[in-house]
Structure formats: structure tokens, C-alpha cells
């Protein structure tokens, strides 16, 4: 198998599953080349429903070139409300055209009448009794164009190899499968350190976590940002919290929020550094720990690949989840799990072939139960290498996690077309799966150089 690029290996992705040369090319030459629309699974009442019973206004926003967190902050500022009153189901790419739901707590439709935000169209959907939460969507549908491909003719060969890897049945000629890795965006596309912060959080090294997020420079960042982080690191060594704050440019808003909290509380002990981490939005606090879980998951999948274990069917000791269909999309349901014993391997394999079940691996947390046999051996070895165990995730506030399991394979019907100026892809993925993980197999370009 082809080895992955260094920036991919840094987040636990060790290899490709296809051997064919990639098509090359450029992703997101312009925002309109990467379109994503949520496959929604969230019911709303009419907009004129009783705001006492349904205090959350639900809107659908089409965004061009917006980071989800940045848009939520801009929208809350325009409405004059706290950022914490804005919720959504999934974070989307900045360099894209995205359509997704947001919920706004204690906001009336009339409040939106004077709100104008550049490169954003916001439409009212209705009201809800609760705010949107991560995972409320079923999935995402993608339309993506890859420009300036060097070998567009290789797309069909790669698709055939992915169909074989994914165990696509004969009556699904366009189905492909890839390992359900967490993509670079989970860890930071330019600066993949979010999992490093999370690993320190899980070990309750609160100071190390703040330092990693604020002051650790990464080679793919702009030189000005790297220099600012180096100055912040020097001030950090001197325990000069005002110096840390002064070194950070205003565009590094979350880093400055942490540094400002250290200025306010003195930065004298672990509780002060934990408070600094809590200065950022709650969803980012959760993301730190989620990224640590995701890194361990990627490592487990990479080791499964290295050992030649199948992804499209189970072996003894695996844990599978069953699936459901939502608007034509097959969605793994990790609340319905089953251990695969020796006498059940073939029966469960047939369910997997038909898309009714998926092999899983752990997103480790306090309630995680690991597999048996060789899959369980892989899981335990990776966690031992990372010095992690389920009890480590018994943490305060947003940092705690009970864990879950996640499918190791994502299968989708994929349409690919070679046009004069682009190779276009159309497919849908269940929530939490990454389009870039599908595209990396086709393009095989270095993420650090894109």
C-alpha cells in the first residue's frame, strides 16, 4: 500500500488503500468548486409557533467562504446576543459553499429582518423546543470539482479499486468504500495540533494544553503567524501572560481569549490553565477531546490496514453496528451494537455486504468497551502507545466523554465525470464522515502543499 504524506501521518493516517496513481489537481480553486448541503434530520414547528414552548428559531443558511464558528459569532453579533445562543449540527469547511441549519435561542423572526451578512443567505425554517446539537443531521451531500488534474483518466481505475475495497455488491455499480478516517479538518488543516491539545487535556496537563494551542508553531502556517507563536512561547516560558497576549495578533481570537484569561487569573496553577481553556466556545472545548479520540481512532484503522484485516466485513472479536436509511442515505447507528463471535462471523458478514451493518472501532471514553480477538488487540495496543485508557476521559465540564464507536468503512454511491476543465464528483456521506477522505484516494496530493 502507498504511504501517506507526513501531514497525514501526523494525524494517524498511515497509508492509501488504492495503488493507482492519483489524478492530481487542485481542490477548492474557488469556493463554488466545493458544495455541501446537509441531509437534514431535524423537525421544526412553523415559525409562528408559541415561542414559550418553542424558544429556538431554526434557520437555514447558505454560506460562501465562511468558517462555521466565525459565522456563528458574526450572526450573534448582528443579533446582539451571546454566541452561546447559536447552535448547529455540524461544522463545515470554510473554503466552500455550504447549506446548513442553525438554531437561535430566544430570537424572533422579526429580529432577522435587518440582519445582512456578506456572502450569506439566511432563511427561516421554523421553531423548535430545543437547540440543534452535533449529530442532529443525517449526513451531507457533496458536489465537488477538482481543477487542473494531471491524470484525469485514472479516476475510473481508482473507483474500481475502491469498489473492491468497500465490498460493493454487484447490483450497486457506482458504490465505493474508503476507511472512515477523520480528515485533516478535524485536527486543523494548516496546523494539525488540536489532538495534541486534547491528549494533554485527557492527561490533565492543563498548562501543556494551553501552551500547545497558543504557542506551538507549525511549519505550514504563514511566517508571520509562526513568528507570533514563537514570541508567545518565549513569554510563556517567562510566565509573562501579558507578553503572551501582546504577541498574538487579533486574528488569533481563540488564542487571545486564553491568554487574556491567564492575564485575568494569574496563571498560577492547574485550575487557572483549565479556566483559560474554558475561555473558548464550548464546542471548541469538546473538539479538543474529540480530536484526541479521533487520532486514536485513525491509528487503530491504520493498524487494521497494516495487518490486512478487512473493512467491509467482520472477523471474530469485532464489534458491529447496524444501520438505518434516512432520505436514501445509509447511516450507521452506533447505539445498536453486536459483538461478533466465531459462530456469527458469516451471518454478520452478509449483513455488512448488504449495508445493514458496519464493522466499528472505538472513539474511546469512559463507557467504551473494547473488542476481542485481533481487533481488540489492535485497539489496546494503540491506546497503550498513547498512554490512554477509558477512565482518563472522566473529566470536568465539556472535557468529559463517555465515548462511542464509529464505523471503520464509509460506503457511498459516487458519480465521477471527466470534463474539459475539471473532474467532478457527486456523492453523499453520513454525518461525521469526510469528503476529503474520499477525494484523497483519487487525488493523492500532499495536503501540506494544496
Contact 440, 144 (CB under 8 A): no
| Phi–psi pair at 404, nearest 5 degrees | -165, -165
Contact 41, 326 (CB under 8 A): yes
Residues paired with residue 27 on neighbouring β-strands, in sequence order: 146
Contact 303, 340 (CB under 8 A): no
CA distance 319 to 404: 12
Q: Which residues contact 268 (CB under 8 A, 6 or more apart)?
A: none
Q: Are strands 97-105 and 34-39 parallel, antiparallel or unpaired?
A: parallel
Q: Is the dihedral of CA 371, 376, 379, 385 positive or negative?
A: positive
Instruction: Output the nine-digit C-alpha cell for 308.
Output: 490486512
- Cα 309 to chain centroid distance, Å, stands at 25
Map residue 316 onto helix, strand or coil.
Answer: coil
67 catalytically annotated: no
Query: Which residue shows C-alpha cell 412553523?
Result: 46
Q: How many CB atoms are closer than 10 A to CB 261?
A: 22
Please identify which of the residues 19, 48, 93, 392 carries the catalytic annotation. Answer: 93
Question: What beta strand segments (E) does 241-346 contain?
Answer: 319-326, 329-339
Q: Which of 381, 340, 383 is nearest to 363 (CA)?
A: 383
CA distance 144 to 146: 7
CA distance 235 to 229: 10
Residues annotated catalytic, as ranges: 93
Amino acid at each position: 500500500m502507498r504511504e501517506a504524506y507526513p501531514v497525514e501521518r501526523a494525524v494517524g493516517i498511515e497509508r492509501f488503500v488504492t495503488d493507482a496513481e492519483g489524478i492530481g489537481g487542485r481542490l477548492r480553486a474557488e469556493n463554488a468548486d466545493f458544495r455541501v448541503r446537509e441531509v437534514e434530520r431535524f423537525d421544526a414547528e412553523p415559525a409562528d409557533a408559541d415561542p414559550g414552548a418553542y424558544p429556538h428559531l431554526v434557520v437555514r443558511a447558505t454560506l460562501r467562504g465562511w468558517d462555521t464558528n466565525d459565522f456563528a459569532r458574526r450572526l450573534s453579533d448582528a443579533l446582539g446576543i451571546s454566541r452561546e445562543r447559536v447552535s448547529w449540527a455540524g461544522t463545515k469547511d470554510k473554503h466552500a459553499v455550504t447549506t446548513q441549519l442553525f438554531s437561535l435561542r430566544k430570537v424572533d423572526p422579526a429580529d432577522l429582518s435587518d440582519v445582512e451578512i456578506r456572502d450569506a443567505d439566511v432563511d427561516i425554517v421554523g421553531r423548535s423546543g430545543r437547540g440543534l446539537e452535533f449529530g442532529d443531521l443525517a449526513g451531507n451531500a457533496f458536489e465537488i470539482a477538482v481543477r487542473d488534474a494531471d491524470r484525469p483518466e485514472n479516476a475510473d481505475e481508482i473507483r474500481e479499486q475502491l469498489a473492491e475495497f468497500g465490498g460493493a455488491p454487484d447490483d450497486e455499480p457506482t458504490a465505493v468504500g474508503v476507511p472512515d478516517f477523520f480528515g485533516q479538518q478535524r485536527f486543523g488543516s494548516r496546523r494539525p495540533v488540536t489532538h495534541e491539545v486534547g491528549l494533554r487535556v485527557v492527561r490533565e496537563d492543563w498548562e501543556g494544553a494551553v501552551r500547545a494551542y497558543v504557542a506551538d508553531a507549525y511549519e505550514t502556517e504563514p511566517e508571520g503567524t509562526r513568528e507570533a507563536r514563537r514570541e508567545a512561547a518565549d513569554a510563556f516560558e517567562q510566565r509573562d501572560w501579558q507578553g503572551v497576549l501582546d504577541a498574538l495578533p487579533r486574528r488569533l481570537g481563540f488564542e487571545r481569549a486564553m491568554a487574556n484569561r491567564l492575564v485575568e487569573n494569574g496563571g498560577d496553577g492547574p485550575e487557572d490553565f483549565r479556566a483559560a481553556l474554558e475561555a473558548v466556545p464550548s464546542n471548541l472545548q469538546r473538539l479538543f477531546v474529540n480530536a484526541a479520540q479521533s487520532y486514536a481512532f485513525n491509528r487503530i484503522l491504520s493498524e487494521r490496514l497494516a495487518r490486512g484485516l478487512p473493512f467491509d466485513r467482520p472477523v471474530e472479536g469485532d464489534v458491529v453496528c447496524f444501520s438505518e436509511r434516512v432520505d436514501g442515505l445509509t447511516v450507521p447507528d452506533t447505539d445498536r451494537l453486536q459483538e461478533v463471535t466465531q459462530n456469527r462471523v458469516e451471518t454478520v458478514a452478509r449483513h455488512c455486504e448488504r449495508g445493514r451493518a458496519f464493522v466499528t472501532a472505538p472513539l474511546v471514553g469512559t463507557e467504551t468497551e473494547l473488542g476481542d480477538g485481533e481487533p481488540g488487540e489492535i485497539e489496546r495496543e494503540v491506546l497503550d502507545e498513547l498512554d490512554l485508557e477509558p477512565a482518563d476521559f472522566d473529566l470536568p465540564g465539556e472535557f468529559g466523554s463517555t465515548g462511542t464507536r464509529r464505523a471503520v468503512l464509509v460506503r457511498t454511491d459516487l458519480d465521477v465525470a471527466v470534463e474539459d476543465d475539471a473532474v467532478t464528483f457527486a456523492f453523499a456521506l453520513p454525518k461525521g464522515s469526510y469528503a476529503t477522505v474520499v477525494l484523497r484516494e483519487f487525488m493523492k496530493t500532499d495536503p501540506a502543499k494544496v
